[in-house]
Amino acid sequence: MKISLREAGDNFISFFYTLIKAVQVHDLRNDVVQSAAQKLLEYINSILTATSTIEIVRYRDYIFFNKQRLRFKIDRFASLQFIDSKLRVLKIKSLTFLPGISKEEILKFSSIFKLERDIFLKQFTLEKFNHIQLEFATRDDEIPELLKDGERVKRTYFRALKGLRNLMQNLWTNRPVDVISSRRIVYSLLNALFQDEYGLLALATLKNIDEYTFNHSLNVGILSMALGQRIDLNRKSLAQLGTAGLLHDLGKVDIPKEIMYKVELSNEEWEKIKLHSVYGVKEIVRIRELDEIGMVGMVVAYQHHWNYDGTGYPAREKDEKPMLFAKIVRICDAYDAMTSPRTYQPIPYLRHYALRILWAHKHTWFDPILVKAFIQLLGVYPVGSCLELNSREIGLVIRQNVGYLDLPLVKIVINKQGENVDGATVDLSLEKGINIVRPVFPQQYGINPATYFV
Ligand SMILES: [Fe+2]
Ligand SMILES: [Fe+2]
C-alpha cells in the first residue's frame, strides 16, 4: 500500500524516537535497542528505494520530512516534540540519511544524539559518519523575525474580517447574503493555517471592543481550525469546523443591540441573549441553504453553549451529547471571550489565566482531552501574553516553543528603565539566566499586544 510522504515522515520520526529512547536507558547491545535499530534501518531502506535521501529539516519550529511539513498531532505529539527539541538544543537545522547506511552507523549516531551539544559535536567529528550529514542552524533560523513572511497571512485575516462583517451586516439589515463568501473566507484561512499556523494564531490575538462580534467570530473560527488540525481532522472536516466557528454566534443578529451590549442584564434579558443559539440555526438556513457545511454549522450554533457535564443552554435530554465540533468551538469561544475586552469587562483576563480556567473546568464545562490539546496548541503563556522577566524587562510572547510549552520566545517591549523599546527577541528555552517572574496585564504598561503583529 502506498502511503503519503507525511505518513512516511510520521512513521520515520516514531521509529527514530523509539530508538533514541531505548538508547537512553539500555546498553547498545541490548535486544530492545538492537531491534529498534533494525526497524529504523528497514524503514530507512524502504524509503530510500523511492527517494535518494531522507532529509529532516527543522526550520522555525516546523519539522519537514523530505520537504513535507509534519504536523503536531495529538497521537504523534510526544515523538515529534522530542525530536524537535533535540534538534533545537543540538542546533541542528538538517539531518540527512544517505543510501548504504548500516545498523552500526545508526546505533553509533543514536548513542551520541542523546548527549549534550558540546560532546555531541566532538563525537560527531571524531567518529566517521559516511551516511549521515548534518547542517547546523544559524541564529536567523532559530529566532524568527516577527512574522517576517506573514504579509499574505495578514491580508487573509483582514479580508476574512471584512467578509464576515459584510455577511453579518447584511443579515442584520435583511439584505441578500452572498452564500459563497463564507466558503471563500474559510478556504483562504485554511490555506493560511497550513502555510503559517503561528502567524495566523498571532493575528487571532486581535481584539476590537467596537467590533467585538466580528473579531470574536473570526478568532473562534481560526482557533477551532488550529485545534482541529491538532487532532488530525482532514481538510474537508476542517473547512466544516472553521465555518461552524465563524458562524457560531450568527444568531446574535436577532438580539436587539441595546441588550447585546448592555453592561448589566436583568434575568429576562439574559434569557433573551441565550436564545442566540437557537436563532443561529435559523440564520444559517438563510445563508447556506441545507448543504453539508450548513448542516454542521447549524448543529454547532445550537450546541455551542452545551457543557461537557450536561449543563448549559438550550436545555436538552440527559443523554444528549454535543458533537465533536461543538465541543471544540465551546472551548475556543470561551477562551476568546475571556481574553477580549467587552463593554462589561474592559480589562480582559490574562491569556495564561484564561487557560487555567479552561483547565479547572475540564470535565465540567469542557472536554478534558480537547482542553489538553488546546493548551498544547497555545502553550502555557499564549502568543500576545506579556511577561515580567527576572531581568526587570517586559517581554511580549511572539511564538511558542513546541518542546517547551512554558518557555516561549519573547520580544522585549519594555526595558529595565521602564521605557517602551523595540527590543531583541529572546528564546527563553535557550537563555538560561532569564526567567519568567509572572504574567502581567499589558494595559498596565500601555501595551496593545496585537499592534506588534500587524
Ligand atoms: Fe455564543
Ligand atoms: Fe461566541
- List pLDDT tens digits, range 64-121: 899 888 887 777 778 888 898 889 889 898 999 999 999 999 999 999 998 888 899 9
Query: Relative to the alpha carbon of 338, which ligand is closest?
Result: 2
Q: How many CA atoms lie within 13 A of 16 on its CB side?
A: 25
The predicted-structure confidence for 188-220, as pLDDT tens digits, reads as follows: 999 989 888 888 888 888 887 777 888 999 999
Q: Which amino acid is at 157?
A: Y
In the block, which residue shows the cell 477562551? 335
Pick the closest to residue 313 from 297, 294, 326 (CA basis).
326
The predicted-structure confidence for 129-138, as pLDDT tens digits, reads as follows: 999 999 887 7
Residue 255 Cα to ligand 1 midpoint, Å, equals 12
What is the per-residue pLDDT for 147? 43
**C-beta of residue 371 within 8 angstroms of C-beta of residue 307:** no
In the block, which residue shows the cell 541490548? 30
pLDDT cut 90: percent of the chain above it:
54
Q: Average pLDDT, stretch 162-178?
A: 82
What is the per-residue pLDDT for 235? 92
* Cis omega (within 30 of 0) for bond into 382: no
Residue 32 Cα to ligand 1 midpoint, Å, equals 52
Residue 216 Cα to ligand 2 midpoint, Å, equals 7
Under the banding of pLDDT at 50, 70 and 90, the label for residue 179 is low
pLDDT cut 70: percent of the chain above it:
95
Q: Which amino acid is at 365?
A: W
- CB atoms < 10 A from the CB of 159, how many? 14
Residue 338 Cα to ligand 2 midpoint, Å, equals 10
Residue 110 buriedness (CB in 10 A; 0-12 / 13-18 / 19+)? buried
Residues in the chain, how many?
Answer: 454
The predicted-structure confidence for 180-192, as pLDDT tens digits, reads as follows: 777 888 999 999 8
Residue 400 Cα to ligand 1 midpoint, Å, equals 28
What is the per-residue pLDDT for 145? 46
Q: Average pLDDT, stretch 425-429?
A: 90
Output the average pLDDT for the chain.
89
Residue 118 Cα to ligand 2 midpoint, Å, equals 50
C-alpha 190/C-alpha 428 separation (Å) is 30
Query: Relative to the alpha carbon of 216, which ligand is closest?
Result: 2
- CB atoms < 10 A from the CB of 165, how many? 16
Q: In what order do the strands lie in the sheet with 68-70?
A: 68-70, 62-65, 54-59, 92-97, 132-136
Residue 249 Cα to ligand 2 midpoint, Å, equals 5
- φ/ψ (deg, to 5) at 322: -70, 150
C-alpha cell recorded at residue 244: 461552524
Helix axes 212-230, 179-195, angle to 10 degrees: 50
pLDDT score of 289 more than 70: no
Under the banding of pLDDT at 50, 70 and 90, the label for residue 146 is very low
Residue 368 Cα to ligand 1 midpoint, Å, equals 20
Kind of pairing between the strands at 386-389 and 132-136 = unpaired
Q: Average pLDDT, stretch 412-437?
A: 91
**C-beta of residue 94 within 8 angstroms of C-beta of residue 57:** yes
Residue 249 Cα to ligand 1 midpoint, Å, equals 5
Residue 86 Cα to ligand 2 midpoint, Å, equals 39
- CB atoms < 10 A from the CB of 56, how many? 22
pLDDT score of 1 more than 80: no
Q: Average pLDDT, stretch 316-343?
A: 93
Domains of the chain: 5-142 (no CATH), 151-378 (1.10.3210.10), 386-452 (no CATH)
C-alpha cell recorded at residue 268: 429576562
pLDDT score of 148 more than 60: no
Give the alpha-carbon dihedral of 5, 328, 346, 275, to 10 degrees. 140
The pTM of the full predicted model, rounded to 2 decimals, is 0.79
Q: In what order do the strands lie in the sheet with 404-414?
A: 425-427, 404-414, 394-401, 386-389, 436-440
Strands (E), 60-126: 62-65, 68-70, 92-97
In the block, which residue shows the cell 498544547? 376
Residue 404 Cα to ligand 1 midpoint, Å, equals 33
In the 8-state DSSP scheme, what is residue 96?
Answer: E
Q: Average pLDDT, stretch 288-302?
A: 84
* Per-state percent for the chain, helix, strand, coil, to nearest 5: 55, 15, 35
Residue 386 Cα to ligand 1 midpoint, Å, equals 28
Q: Diameter of the chain by CA atoms? A: 77
Residue 16 Cα to ligand 2 midpoint, Å, equals 42
Strands (E), 1-45: none
